[in-house]
Amino acid sequence: MKTRFILINTSHAGNVGATARAMKVMGFTDLVLVAPRWDNVLRREETIQRASGALDVLANARVVATLDEAIDGLHHLCATAMTPRDFGPPTLEPRPHFAALAAEHKHNADFGVGFLFGSERFGMRNEDVYRCHTCLSIPTDPKFGSLNLGAAVQVLAYDWREALGGLATMLPSEEIAPAAQESTPLADAQQLAGLLDHWQQSLTDIGFLDPEAPKKLMPRLNQLFNRAQVTQEEIHILRGIAKTMSQVAKTAAEKSSG
């Protein structure tokens, strides 16, 4: 499976380097930074020092402006947040969730998993957490549950690597078992975001959603679609429904005004 670590609004260059090091020792290389404090954070001296040899991870890392760019091509998003959000995804411990996730998609090389980490000062924004399928909570001392960003990445990287079968699975002599059968491609996070935008407009068109007071309808629909593991084909169907809703609403409005 594809694995990506995503740091959102990171403010300390050293944490970027520590993240790169934590990823490399667990065999992961895909790092994306969303709007970090420093535009040149990947080249800063503190970053390089804390990476401690994981310069290839830094060299391959990307800096993007938005979360949409960072999650492109991913299918399952894991938020990391100490405080559960109302109407947000379920809060789970990493190991049991990783075991179930890996078992379900172990033969799907195209399945993409993303781990999202918020800023050191403010954590993750509600709207970013709402987009995720689960919120991971690392078990800690109830009296002191604050983990350094690099440490949190290391813990999750280790647990995820173990769920994938451990580092032994990366040896050249190991053969990857072929998939038992072709599976229908799941929609990725970008496709799901497009669907939600389409539905928000259509639900507004038919009068079901008040854009001035949307409350938590869209985050709830986001979680519903996340749980459903919508396929790309189903995305087309659901967008077709949304398109028809808007067309019917427009026709009704034209008739009433005529």
Say whether both 55 and 139 belong to one domain: yes
Number of domains in the chain: 2
Separation of alpha carbons 231 and 238, rounded Å: 10
- What type of residue sits at position 23? M
Digit-by-digit pLDDT tens for the chain (258 residues) are: 899 999 999 999 999 999 999 999 999 999 999 999 988 999 999 999 999 989 999 999 999 999 999 999 999 999 987 666 676 788 999 999 999 999 989 888 889 999 999 988 888 888 899 999 999 988 888 888 778 999 999 999 999 999 999 887 766 544 434 443 446 788 888 888 898 889 888 888 888 888 887 778 888 888 888 888 888 888 888 988 988 888 887 877 778 776
Say whether both 54 and 123 belong to one domain: yes
Say whether both 95 and 151 belong to one domain: yes
CATH for 206: 1.10.8
Say whether both 147 and 239 belong to one domain: no
Say whether both 41 and 155 belong to one domain: yes
Say whether both 31 and 128 belong to one domain: yes
Q: What is the pLDDT of residue 178?
A: 46
Say whether both 201 and 89 belong to one domain: no
Q: What is the pLDDT of residue 196?
A: 85
70 lies in which domain range? 2-170
Judge contact between 13 and 41, C-beta under 8 A: yes
- What type of residue sits at position 159? D
For residue 177, being part of any structural domain is answered with: no
* Residue 125 three-state SS: coil
Q: What is the pLDDT of residue 10?
A: 93
For residue 80, being part of any structural domain is answered with: yes
Judge contact between 9 and 66, C-beta under 8 A: no
**Which is it for the CA torsion 120, 121, 123, 126, positive or negative?**
negative
Say whether both 193 and 163 belong to one domain: no
For residue 179, being part of any structural domain is answered with: no
For residue 182, being part of any structural domain is answered with: no
Say whether both 9 and 80 belong to one domain: yes
Separation of alpha carbons 18 and 15, rounded Å: 5
* Residue 232 three-state SS: helix
Specify which residues 78 forms β-bridges with: 115, 134
Say whether both 36 and 82 belong to one domain: yes
For residue 175, being part of any structural domain is answered with: no
CA atoms within 13 A on the CB side of 177: 8
Q: Which two tokens stand for residue 27?
A: 């065999």
Taking the model in full, what pTM does it have?
0.74
CATH for 151: 3.40.1280.10
Say whether both 57 and 138 belong to one domain: yes
Say whether both 162 and 193 belong to one domain: no
Q: What is the pLDDT of residue 251?
A: 78
Separation of alpha carbons 117 and 76, rounded Å: 14
| C-alpha radius of gyration, the chain, whole number | 20
Q: What is the pLDDT of residue 213?
A: 77
Separation of alpha carbons 74 and 77, rounded Å: 7
For residue 33, being part of any structural domain is answered with: yes
Q: What is the pLDDT of residue 176?
A: 39
